[in-house]
Every structure is written in structure tokens, then in C-alpha cells.
Amino acid sequence: MRVQIAAANWKMNLTVREAEKLLEVLLGESYELTENQKVVFAVPAPYLTIAEEKIAKHSQMFIAAQNVYSKKSGAYTGEVSVTMLQSIGVDHVIIGHSERREYFGETDELIAGKVNICLETNITSIFCCGEALPVREVNQQNSYVSHQLEESLFYLPAEQIVKVVIAYEPIWAIGTGKTASSEQVQEMHAFIRSQIEKRYGIEEAQSISILYGGSVKAANAKEIFSQPDVDGGLVGGASLIAEEFIAIIKALKV
């Protein structure tokens, strides 16, 4: 079975004390994670070292950065490099999140550069893709997401593409009051997997974890994760509430 992942994206939230308290509660729970399950905490950059130290004894838990720059070092004030992340034990990073694309103007080309440098340093990319409401309303979501994959991932050789985790974010279902049905979620995940299969083959397509990133909560996690092509979630707001994220972790496929 593909690796099933519950990834928490804390975004720009919590003070250091709040972050420590939340991690303590989450890590104090008993999960009995299997070999094909893992939990990833994408915490704000100032908390990476603290979080890494706290999860050190938990073999199925990992820390992710929420962003990284496409150069290893240099005069790029305010940026964080893969070398810096490696030096503190961080081995996952979110790439191309919808907020980075929308608010910071990240292009497919820039995102591809970030994927490349992560692969060079054996850091796992959680690559985000997904469409906004106007795209969904004209039924162009497949071609839109396909373009994102083509431009930022599908130039990779097979031995590298399988090292990437993909997260599908229906932007139209995040904080808008609209929700994606489990059928819509499965439909898009199956489409993404079919595009991987078309380009690389069935073995590669069946080995890549594809997460859902559209307002996953304790109340809908089990139904969403039960879909055959959904391999867990990239969770925003609900990951800041201990009991919510605990339930989401426990909803992962065994």
C-alpha cells in the first residue's frame, strides 16, 4: 500500500509557547502508526528546531518546512535554503502551496526549481496543485491541474518523480463555504494518478502518495481518506486543534 500521510500545515499561526503545547498534546496521544503511515508537521520556520527535537523519538513522525528557496545559498535576504533545513534534520518541505502561488506570485518555473533542489538534497517535496473557483465553474480543472503537473513535475525522470508527494488543493473549497464531495475528491485524485500513469507507467502511478488539501476535518476525514486514490491529507486549520488533528491521524488507512 502507498504511504498514508496526515500532514499538518500550521501556516503563520501560534506563538512558540502555543506551538510547544500543541505538539506536547499531539505527541502524548497513542497512535500505533503502521509502517505505511506517517505524520508530518509543517511548522513556521522559527519553530523548526524545537519541533524537530520534540518528535525525535517518534519514528513515523516528521517535520516539514512550509517553504524553501530554489538556491542552496547566497544573497537572498529572508529566504531559507535546503542546506539550512538539512542541517537541522528537516527532510520534508511544502512546495507550491496555493497561498505561495497567489500571494507571492510563485510561478511554475520557480516551483520546479524548488522541486529540483529538494531532490538534489534528498528532501521530500509535498508538491501542491489545484484550481480556483473560476476554473472549476467552467469545468477546466483537469486541464488546469494537468498543466501544473507538466510544468513543475513531469520533466522529472521516473526514479525521481516517485520521491515526490502530491497534494491536491481545490482552492475553491478552502475558506469559501463551498465543499468538495468525496466523489469530486476521488475524481480529481484518480485523474492526477492517471496522468502520472500516462507519462510514467502504472508502477510509478501506484507508488506516489496523493494527499487531499481541501478543508479536511475530523468529521469528514474518514470518508475522504477511504477513497481509493486518496492517501491522506494536507490539513490547515484543523491541524491547530489537537482533538481534530488526532482524529484525522487516526482516520488514515491502515
For the stretch 205-218, pLDDT in tens is 999 999 999 889 99
Residue 241, exposed/middle/buried by CB under 10 A (0-12, 13-18, 19+)? middle
**pTM greater than 0.85:** yes
Q: Which residues lie below 8 Å from residue 119, measured CB to CB, with a gap of 6+?
A: 125, 156, 160, 163, 164
Residue, of 176 and 29, whose pLDDT is higher: 29
Q: Which domains does the chain have, with CATH numbers?
A: 4-250 (3.20.20.70)
Q: Which residues lie below 8 Å from residue 68, measured CB to CB, with a gap of 6+?
A: 80, 81, 82, 85, 93, 95, 114, 117, 118, 123
Q: Are the C-beta atoms of 175 and 215 separated by less than 8 Å?
A: yes
The answer to whether residue 38 scores a pLDDT higher than 80 is: yes
Residue 145, exposed/middle/buried by CB under 10 A (0-12, 13-18, 19+)? buried
Residue 65 banded pLDDT, cuts 50, 70, 90: very high
Instruction: At 205, give phi and psi (nearest 5°).
Output: -60, -35
Greatest pairwise CA separation for the chain in angstroms: 48
Mean pLDDT, all residues of the chain = 96
Residue 99 banded pLDDT, cuts 50, 70, 90: very high
- List residues with catalytic annotation: 97, 169
At residue 177, the pLDDT reads 63
